[in-house]
Structure 1
Amino acid sequence: MDTSAGGGSWTTIPSVPPHSNVSTPSNQDPPYLSPPPPSQQEVQQDQHHQSLPSHFHLLHLVENLGDAIDNGTRNQHSDDLINELNNHFEKCQQLLNSIGASINTKPMTVEGQKQKLEESEQLLNQRRDLIANCRSSVEDLVKTEP
């Protein structure tokens, strides 16, 4: 996946080869002020890591809800805290589900690649056998001719 081509993420700086004639927009730092571009794997990991902290900062909500419970009165503020906490938990659950799904697809991808490799090896072996049979038949024909 090439992050420099079309609609990339706004959180990453697209890598532009030094020999490219693309000009740098004025709202970005010049290339010499930017850190070296990260590898594709680092970009994907960074996007996951950047999203994790934004969804898991729940401590202040839980503490505020604990204070509201200590006061013993249920009011609009405590209801708002509960709703906000529920929203954060839903986002966390969605994030965890997406991570879980990506973890489950990787082994299936590896298994799929193994299966394709095995099928290719079987086809290759069949072709080798056919070539050997053909060679043998040609040799037999050559031997029998006067």
Structure 2
Amino acid sequence: MEQQQYGGGGGGKWAVVPTPGNSSAAGQGQGQDHFQQSQFLQQSQSQSQSQPQAQHASLASHFHLLPLVEKLANGIEAGSRDQHFDTLVEELTNQFTRCQQLLNSISGTISSKSMTVEGQKRVLEETMQQLNQRRDLMNQYRMGVEEVTKSSNI
């Protein structure tokens, strides 16, 4: 069985993810592969809950869908449907669900940031209106003082 190393972007953790090889022992280690992938996904999920915004980039690299899809395609081509096939389907479904949650989280972060920018723009506009009102009042006060000074000098 071959093993490839994948690193999370943005300082994420490195993990060894097994990939199918030409070895005859490949079929025997598939249960262990699934167990290792499940552990890795649980670890990445717990990290995402503690630091959602900082982990978006590194979490995206944890979803290794291609190897699962390839294993599933190989099973379909071979015409074999067994317990391992059902496990692959379930795991792929779970992975897609987690990917969707990640995308929703990223979308929510982007929306909240744009709302913050919009909120800041609104506050800036309100402050500019208040500043202009105060300038107008100061100009009126200055003109009033000038009129009073002119009339008292006459």
TM-score, normalisation: structure 2: 0.60
Structure having the larger proportion of residues in helix: 2
Partner of 2:56: 48
Q: Is the 8 A contact 2:65 2:95 kept in 1?
A: yes
Note if 1:59 corresponds to 2:66: yes
Q: Is the 8 A contact 2:72 2:85 kept in 1?
A: yes
Q: Secondary structure at the match of 2:80?
A: coil
CA distance in 1, matches of 2:109, 2:54: 15
TM-score, normalisation: structure 1: 0.63
Alpha-carbon deviation of 1:45?
7.8
Alpha-carbon deviation of 1:103?
2.1
Considering only aligned residues, what root-mean-square deviation do their CA atoms show, in Å? 2.5
Q: Which amino acid aligns with 1:94?
A: Q
Aligned residues: percent identity?
Answer: 51
Note if 1:95 corresponds to 2:102: yes
Partner of 2:29: none
Note if 1:144 corresponds to 2:151: yes
Gaps of 5+ in 1: 1-10, 13-43
Structure having the larger proportion of residues in strand: 2
RCO comparison, higher one (Cα < 8 Å, 6+): 2
Q: Which amino acid aligns with 1:103?
A: I
Distance 1:123 1:46, change over 3 A: closer
Note if 1:122 corresponds to 2:142: no
CA distance in 2, matches of 1:47, 1:92: 13
Q: Which amino acid aligns with 1:65?
A: L
Gaps of 5+ in 2: 1-11, 14-51
CA distance in 2, matches of 1:88, 1:47: 17
| Alignment deviations for residues 27-64 of structure 1 (CA, whole Å, 9 cap, x no partner) | xxxxxxxxxxxxxxxxx986322111002x11111111
Q: Which amino acid aligns with 2:76?
A: I
Aligned residues: 105
Partner of 1:4: none
